[in-house]
Structure 1
Amino acid sequence: MAGATVTAVALAPFANVNLPLIGDQPVHGKGAAVFVAQFDLSGDFTGYNFGKNRQNPDVTTMGNDDRVLLAGIRDGSMSVQGVFNAATDKSDEEFAALDGVETVFTASPTAAAAIGDRAHMVNGFIDNYQPRSSITDAVRFSSGITASAGAYLGQIIHHNNQESSVGDSASINYGATTTTGATAFIHVTQFDGTDATITVEDATTEPTYGSLVAFTQVTGLTSEKVEVTGEVLKFVRVALTGTFTTITFVVSFSRTLA
């Protein structure tokens, strides 16, 4: 509600969403979306690749018939390909501005259009940005991103939607409490107002929710990564309060694996 700070209420018509959320049907790549910092740059991209891996050193010793590995350092990356766009707030300008800047990236193969959609999440640095021109094609580009303390398989817990009133998102039921923390990314791609407070909440039993992740108060376009340790309860949702006319944002969320 514009011009006033009011108590959060349920946002219709969403209901609880239980995982797993992506079925066994093929998904067409044209429906993907990629968010870079506070920008939805999906309209510039033709594809993305996401990698999450772990460097596992070989500790095989004499007397073993099989290789033995030691669980090592987690690593990750993302790469994007697209059509060159030099307009304001589009890919050419933003990839140049983000050189050397630690940045959050969320890609969703299903456009982050629904709560529970898969999220491919990278917190890291742009390694390269390579526009290329040919007399037989449109000007295109590619870019590589390397994770810095962060590549995650997660879910969209607030989809790419414009909100005009305060409230709570639908919840995701993860089935059980975990004890190893979580990571959340936020991308605020449009904002008209004074401020907004966005939190990730969790609960053992609905509707008794408490704060889990508190993002920095929003006063304009922004992005952020927040990590928490310890327990993450069974149900997770997003709560929105503040004084604004409209806000469009995406929240991606991943429970930390031990």
Structure 2
Amino acid sequence: MQNGYNRVILGSCTSRIACHVISATVKGQGYSLSADIQYVDARWEIPIVLPLLGCTAQELNLLCCIDGLKTVKSLKSPPFGINALVSSFVSLLQEENPSRECTIVRTAGKLTPFHFNRIPEINDSMVPLATRRRQKRYNLKPEESIPSESFCPICNSPLNKSELFSLSSSKICDGSTFGAGCCSSCQFQIIPKDPSSMEQFHLLLPQKMVSQAKNSTSANVNFLGEQIEDCLLLDNDDEN
């Protein structure tokens, strides 16, 4: 933002996103999956854009070869863990059928995106038809209200209803209750199971992350309170 940039462009392509779709599903991140595979992700302070979403790694390598561009191979991850297993699995599927990666991403693309995945309105006849179709599909209608979202303080994934209930019933003020505001995936993979280790874990967290968790809890409690208040009967209503 200091240099005037207002977007971060990532080079994630169809091949990498296909791996992410399967690994996120295995890790129990199915609810927030649709947020990670859209062209625009504005839940961060600086929005993220994925312009290579529709290109496979093989296509990009071929393009670089034709244009004489040098490529750098990424470091191989350790041959264990969910991400490594999924990567090997998707590579095997791709060898058997070159369209498997695209099929995985297209299938995941049927999930309903979140409001922060909306593509900015563009009223220009020069805009490609595919872009306008995506804009029409992903954007909310003018009369639709933007829902309130709460996010996991660790991975910033949207929280589902059960996680929101856990978040609203606790006050994130110390290490013993911080885990209640995290998504189920982070609770399983990152949050220490031993209560005695939780306090030390909480002290190691960035202060900004802890503050964000507190603010999210307060906002969510107020939002739920407003929803409950709409359903309550007033004394005058009882008399009628």
TM (normalized to structure 2)?
0.26
Larger Rg: 2
Structure of higher RCO (CA pairs closer than 8 Å, 6+ residues apart): 1
- TM-score w.r.t. length of structure 1: 0.25
Decide which structure has greater strand share: 1
Which protein is richer in helix relative to its size? 2
